[in-house]
A and B are shown apart, each in its own frame.
Chain A
């Protein structure tokens, strides 16, 4: 079945460092891809998404490009802030099953001042 694999955390960076969180997927069809962010004790918030190959999603300085040839959707940010500390989830949607989301295990990011 479809699946998502993302790099394990926790990831610890200094403020203004470059961030990459790797995400690869396995899917039989052409899924849409998402990055969600979760702050402690809260629900998930959509960070960005891409619905077809070569699309780039971007928001708040984060970006990710849908790469069909490498089945990847890596999250990047050029300069992280302390406020970016959170857990980041990569997900794909399975439109053959009511649009359910299949999540990676999450990557915890901690940014130190």
Chain B
């Protein structure tokens, strides 16, 4: 089946630790996105990438980093600089072009120990 997978489903972070969230897609999409969702709020864009080896900061990039070495993969690292990392993280992908639909993965819930 074509789709987007995210792992793990739950992730626990200790103080001062970097953690990496995985996002893989087999939809052959060029564009990939990372969003953060906090309770009772909409989603906010962290980073996006429209092509391999290139990515741009979104609205809340501080304390996060990404890479795009392969078309299928767009991992997100939550660094120790992110002081409030507890949230639900959603990855999405789409073709490029006006009005393209973004398809979302099942999400990773990050909790701080």
| B99 close to A43 (CB less than 8 A) | no
Chain B positions near chain A (C-beta within 8 angstroms): 4, 6, 31, 33, 35, 40-45, 48, 50, 56, 58, 90, 92, 94, 96-107
| A43 close to B90 (CB less than 8 A) | yes
| A93 close to B43 (CB less than 8 A) | no
Partner of B42, one of A32, A46, A104: A104
In angstroms, Cα B31 to Cα A75, docked, is 27
Interface 1/0 per residue, A64-107 and B, CB below 8 Å: 00000000000000000000000001010101011111011110
Is A22 on the interface with B (CB-CB < 8 A)? no
| A99 close to B41 (CB less than 8 A) | no
| B43 close to A98 (CB less than 8 A) | no
Give the contacts of A7-45 with B (CB-CB under 8 A).
32, 34, 36, 41-45
In angstroms, Cα B102 to Cα A34, docked, is 10
In angstroms, Cα B42 to Cα A101, docked, is 10
Nearest Cβ distance between residue A19 and chain B, in whole angstroms?
Answer: 20
Nearest Cβ distance between residue B63 and chain A, in whole angstroms?
Answer: 19
Is A58 on the interface with B (CB-CB < 8 A)? no
Nearest Cβ distance between residue B105 and chain A, in whole angstroms?
Answer: 5
In angstroms, Cα B94 to Cα A36, docked, is 15
Partner of A93, one of B4, B41, B100, B103: B100
